[in-house]
């Protein structure tokens, strides 16, 4: 299965779950997943569950640091400050 917090044009063969939010960059749970973690997908129930203990998730969250990347384009810099997450509509906030 493909599970992403981004777009996945062209990758839509089989089970695909996109636009997961909150995004990894915002500290969302998807950013704490590691290779080998078990993820349970229940399509009829419309749920996704990370099968990792709450203690392990807390440990990973404590060690998580946001990615600091310089944005050179003024348009992208403005967009990154004003764009909202998909869970609240993926719209631009007013200045």
Told to judge if 9 belongs to the known catalytic residues of this protein, a careful annotator would answer: yes
Instruction: Please give the Cα distance from 61 to 31 (Å, whole number).
Output: 9
Instruction: Please give the Cα distance from 70 to 6 (Å, whole number).
Output: 20
Given 9, 53, 73, 74, the catalytic residue: 9
Query: Which active-site residues does the annotation give?
Result: 9
């Amino acid at each position: 299965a493909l599970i992403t917090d981004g777009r996945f044009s062209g990758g839509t063969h089989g089970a695909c779950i996109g636009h997961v939010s909150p995004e990894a960059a915002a500290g969302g749970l998807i950013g704490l997943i590691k290779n080998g973690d078990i993820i349970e997908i229940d399509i009829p129930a419309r749920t996704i569950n990370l099968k990792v203990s709450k203690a392990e998730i807390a440990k990973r969250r404590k060690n998580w640091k946001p990615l600091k990347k310089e944005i050179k384009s003024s348009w992208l810099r403005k967009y990154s400050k004003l764009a909202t997450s998909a869970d609240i509509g993926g719209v631009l906030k007013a200045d």
